[in-house]
A and B are shown apart, each in its own frame.
Chain A
Amino acid sequence: MSKKITIEPVTRVEGHGKVTIYMDDQNNVRESRLHIVEFRGFERFVQGRPYWEMPVLVQRLCGICPVSHHLAAAKALDVIVGAGPGDGLTAVGEKMRRLMHYGQFFQSHVLHFFHLSSPDFLFGFDGDPLKRNIIGVAMENRELAMQGVMMRKFGQEVIRLTAGKKIHGTGAVPGGINKNLTIEERDELLKGADPMNADKMVDWSVGALDFFKNYHKANRKMVDEFAAFPSNHLSMVRRDGALDIYHGVLRAVDAEGKTILHDVDYQDYEKYIEEEVRNWSYMKFPYLKEYGKEKGWYRVGPLARLNTCDFIPSPLAQKEFEEFKAYTDGKPNNMSLHYHWARLIEVLHCAEVIRDLLNDPDLQNEDLVVKGEKRHRGVGVLEAPRGTLFHHYEINDDDQVTLANLIVSTTNNNEPMNKAVNHTANAMLNGHAEITEGMMNAVEVAIRAYDPCLSCATHALGKMPLEITMINSNNKIVDQKIK
């Protein structure tokens, strides 16, 4: 008898989603889908609003990485107010935004690894669900949980001092920023009482990376084979090929490492990227136009960034990057669970960059804003923690927004997440008449590796629940588990 399994809600990810798995009469997976069940409507309701509201308004898409939306919108408006794309700001303008962004990246990655994913590694995918959470981690490994909490706090403090608030601040304005960093504020982060200082964050980042590498060493086969499949990879890189999460050009490579999008200016993103709508999800499916829907889909996020960039411009992270690249002989890494490895290398890079930026005296400059000849169209792109984020706005002569198009990181990962679900469902469920909680969690682990933010991707509030329903060939529900 064929079945349909639904995982709803998907847990320990940001937002609401569900997974449906159709099984045939032989208990083999016939089809699987990750559905995004939220609808936001930001692109429509910002129309008519004054353009300078965008960085503050659209960041309400998310409470986890609002800074990414805040800055992507501000970058698009930099173009509109004539300050130029990304690199036209004053030194303090760009560096304050970078500090804000790296702080945000740091806290978001830490949240994902420690709070959302570490329970899977510490207790196993089929561990007791009652323990498999951050509280369980704290009971089992107090030091690890404490570091996670304090590292996230540090990132949030960086955001507070650059944006005015930990969540939903106002630091970036069209053409620059509204405050610099005072010496007192700088010292709070640079010389804060142990452990709340930049040096400690670098040390702990190395420790978190070691934790994962040890796990990898002990579980090599599983980590390498779990939801591994070839794909294209897309990210922004600095013009010289370095990893840069704030500004650069768009680059994509295929599964073998061949460049298929050659460092293009993101102002022209529409020439290269198309979005497909499918009737069973509120999340669109982007792909590279040149390669079509079937072959043009790509991964984004930490794994994709380390697959596309040539080097990491900070010494400790670069050393880790070299080890990461050597693991796949310099070829792109297509293993889903290696997202965690890449993410933790980025955590280390962020900690190094934050420490270096804090020592930069430009942060105390007073020339906060630049403006030039006004334009009617602007695109802002940056690397959000979960991947490449596109904000595109057009305005009329009265300064009102007439068009907004947002391609959010998780949206870019829609197809890969569906592939990962399918891959895991096939590996875990085929031939099994009964579905266990551990099997269901394995499907979630595959989704979780991508650190999806489903709230952002549909442009909703709250946690992300997961529902799994099993339906037979007569469309009758035979089993359902809801978390």
Chain B
Amino acid sequence: MNTTIKFKIDGREIIAEKGQTIVEAAKANGVYIPTLCNFEGLPPKGCCRMCTIRISNRYMTSCTTPVAEGMEVESDIPEITDFRKGIVELLFVSGNHFCPACEKSGNCELQALAYRFKMMVPRFPFLFPQKGIDATNPKIIKEQNRCILCKRCIKGIKDDEGRSYFAYKNRGNKLEVVLDEKMGKEITDALARKAMDNCPVGSIIYKELGYYQPIGKRKYDKKPIGSEIEI
């Protein structure tokens, strides 16, 4: 049975495998669709809306939408780019993101997206929420000022029995991601480092590693986010 599907993104022909999401197929064909909450190896959930595309005048998240034969996807068009940029701006104003002194600077996906979208000043007013920092764990600092609630840590950092080290706490504008105090005490070095790498921003920090990577060697120092995919 033929499992190959052909469709178009911005007029460019994409060859995909049946069952792939649009984001996966785009990536395999050298087309970058920005993502934030989506993370390779974790089930997509479409919560950040960064990967929004338009098909037949309907807006969808490309990380959760499977490919279909003949579909025509609009992605890199001014309207959608501005929409995505708006999401980045909203994330900036709803937290306290001070890039100049953040140790994730240069490796931060939110910052990299802001650069990619040429964000200068957010169009929305800063909320300056009162957030805390939990440094009680011996290995990890949870910096709530920078958390974008993407759930990548909740879904990706689990023990052998599948229990998550991180969880949501509170509701509404008080919602935050916290590290389970008891489980956190036993987190391995490897998992703690993985938690930091999974985090798209500087909200999960492995202690005492900050700034050891020199400027010039960081992930997004030389090339913008997405350039590793684009052909």
| Complexed CA–CA distance, A60 and B105 (Å) | 15
When distances are taken between beta carbons in the complex, the residues of chain A under 8 Å from B101 are 53, 56-57, 60
Q: Which of A60, A165, A173 contacts B211 (CB 8 A)?
A: A173
**Contact string, A45-67, partner B, CB cutoff 8 A, digits 1/0?**
00011101101110010000000
Given A398-B136, A400-B135, also A50-B211 (CB < 8 A): no
**Contact string, B195-231, partner A, CB cutoff 8 A, digits 1/0?**
0000000000101101111111000000000000000
Is A178 among interface residues, defined by CB-CB distance under 8 A?
yes
Q: Is the CB of B100 within 8 A of A60?
A: yes
Q: Is the CB of A165 within 8 A of B215?
A: yes
Is B72 among interface residues, defined by CB-CB distance under 8 A?
no
Chain A nearest CB from B201 CB (Å) reads 15
Q: Is the CB of B215 within 8 A of A170?
A: yes
Q: Is the CB of B214 within 8 A of A171?
A: yes
When distances are taken between beta carbons in the complex, the residues of chain A under 8 Å from B136 are 398
Q: Which of A49, A52, A163, A170 contacts B208 (CB 8 A)?
A: A52
* Residue of A with least CB distance to B205: A50
When distances are taken between beta carbons in the complex, the residues of chain A under 8 Å from B135 are 50, 398-400
When distances are taken between beta carbons in the complex, the residues of chain B under 8 Å from A48 are 133
Chain B nearest CB from A293 CB (Å) reads 36
Given A48-B133, A399-B135, also A56-B211 (CB < 8 A): yes
Chain A nearest CB from B110 CB (Å) reads 18
Size of the B side of the interface (Cβ < 8 Å), in residues, is 17
| Complexed CA–CA distance, A170 and B214 (Å) | 7
Q: Is the CB of A178 within 8 A of B208?
A: no
Given A56-B101, A56-B103, A398-B135, also A178-B210 (CB < 8 A): no
Q: Is the CB of A50 within 8 A of B207?
A: yes
Given A56-B101, A60-B100, also A170-B211 (CB < 8 A): yes
| Complexed CA–CA distance, A369 and B211 (Å) | 12
When distances are taken between beta carbons in the complex, the residues of chain B under 8 Å from A170 are 211, 214-215
* Chain A contact surface mostly: loop
Q: Which of A163, A164, A168, A369 contacts B100 (CB 8 A)?
A: A168
The residues in B between 128 and 186 inclusive whose CB is less than 8 angstroms from any CB of A are 133, 135-136, 141
* Residue of B with least CB distance to A51: B208
| Complexed CA–CA distance, A398 and B100 (Å) | 23
Is A179 among interface residues, defined by CB-CB distance under 8 A?
yes
Q: Which of B133, B213, B214 has the most CB of A within 10 A?
A: B214
* Residue of B with least CB distance to A177: B214
The residues in A between 339 and 391 inclusive whose CB is less than 8 angstroms from any CB of B are 369
| Complexed CA–CA distance, A53 and B214 (Å) | 14
Is A169 among interface residues, defined by CB-CB distance under 8 A?
yes
Q: Which of A52, A169, A179 contacts B210 (CB 8 A)?
A: A52
* Residue of A with least CB distance to B209: A52
Chain B nearest CB from A6 CB (Å) reads 34
When distances are taken between beta carbons in the complex, the residues of chain B under 8 Å from A60 are 100-101
The residues in A between 141 and 176 inclusive whose CB is less than 8 angstroms from any CB of B are 163-165, 168-171, 173-174
* Residue of B with least CB distance to A54: B101
Chain A nearest CB from B64 CB (Å) reads 36
Q: Is the CB of A52 within 8 A of B211?
A: yes
**Contact string, B87-130, partner A, CB cutoff 8 A, digits 1/0?**
00000000000001101000000000000000000000000000
* Residue of A with least CB distance to B98: A57
| Complexed CA–CA distance, A351 and B53 (Å) | 57
Chain A nearest CB from B140 CB (Å) reads 11
* Residue of B with least CB distance to A174: B208
| Complexed CA–CA distance, A57 and B213 (Å) | 16
When distances are taken between beta carbons in the complex, the residues of chain A under 8 Å from B205 are 50
* Residue of A with least CB distance to B137: A398
When distances are taken between beta carbons in the complex, the residues of chain B under 8 Å from A400 are 133, 135
Chain A nearest CB from B207 CB (Å) reads 6
| Complexed CA–CA distance, A169 and B186 (Å) | 35
| Complexed CA–CA distance, A160 and B100 (Å) | 16
When distances are taken between beta carbons in the complex, the residues of chain A under 8 Å from B210 are 50, 52-53, 56, 173
The residues in A between 233 and 266 inclusive whose CB is less than 8 angstroms from any CB of B are none
Q: Is the CB of A50 within 8 A of B214?
A: no
When distances are taken between beta carbons in the complex, the residues of chain B under 8 Å from A168 are 100
Chain B nearest CB from A394 CB (Å) reads 15
Q: Is the CB of A53 within 8 A of B216?
A: no
* Residue of B with least CB distance to A172: B211
| Complexed CA–CA distance, A239 and B103 (Å) | 35
Chain B nearest CB from A131 CB (Å) reads 36
When distances are taken between beta carbons in the complex, the residues of chain B under 8 Å from A49 are 133
Q: Which of A50, A55, A81, A163 contacts B141 (CB 8 A)?
A: A50
When distances are taken between beta carbons in the complex, the residues of chain A under 8 Å from B207 are 50, 399
Q: Is the CB of B212 within 8 A of A53?
A: no
When distances are taken between beta carbons in the complex, the residues of chain A under 8 Å from B141 are 50, 399
Q: Which of A50, A169, A173 contacts B212 (CB 8 A)?
A: A173
| Complexed CA–CA distance, A400 and B133 (Å) | 10
When distances are taken between beta carbons in the complex, the residues of chain B under 8 Å from A171 are 214
Chain B nearest CB from A46 CB (Å) reads 9
* Residue of B with least CB distance to A369: B212
Chain A nearest CB from B193 CB (Å) reads 16
Chain B nearest CB from A398 CB (Å) reads 4
Q: Is the CB of A179 within 8 A of B211?
A: no
When distances are taken between beta carbons in the complex, the residues of chain B under 8 Å from A55 are 211
| Complexed CA–CA distance, A358 and B196 (Å) | 37
| Complexed CA–CA distance, A168 and B141 (Å) | 24
Chain B nearest CB from A306 CB (Å) reads 35
Q: Which of A57, A169, A369 contacts B215 (CB 8 A)?
A: A169
Q: Is the CB of A164 within 8 A of B214?
A: yes
Q: Is the CB of B208 within 8 A of A399?
A: yes
Chain B nearest CB from A297 CB (Å) reads 33
When distances are taken between beta carbons in the complex, the residues of chain A under 8 Å from B214 are 164, 170-171, 178-179
Question: Interface residues, chain B, CB within 8 Å of chain A?
Answer: 100-101, 103, 133, 135-136, 141, 205, 207-208, 210-216
Q: Sample 13 A-B pairs with CB under 8 A, ordered by A number.
A: A50-B210, A52-B103, A52-B208, A52-B211, A53-B103, A56-B211, A60-B100, A164-B216, A171-B214, A173-B210, A173-B211, A178-B214, A398-B136
Question: Interface residues, chain A, CB within 8 Å of chain B?
Answer: 48-50, 52-53, 55-57, 60, 81, 163-165, 168-171, 173-174, 178-179, 369, 398-400
With A60-B100, A171-B214 known, 8 other A-B pairs at CB within 8 A are: A48-B133, A49-B133, A50-B135, A53-B210, A56-B211, A165-B215, A169-B215, A400-B133
Closest 7 CB pairs of A and B: A164-B215, A57-B101, A398-B135, A179-B214, A178-B214, A170-B211, A52-B210
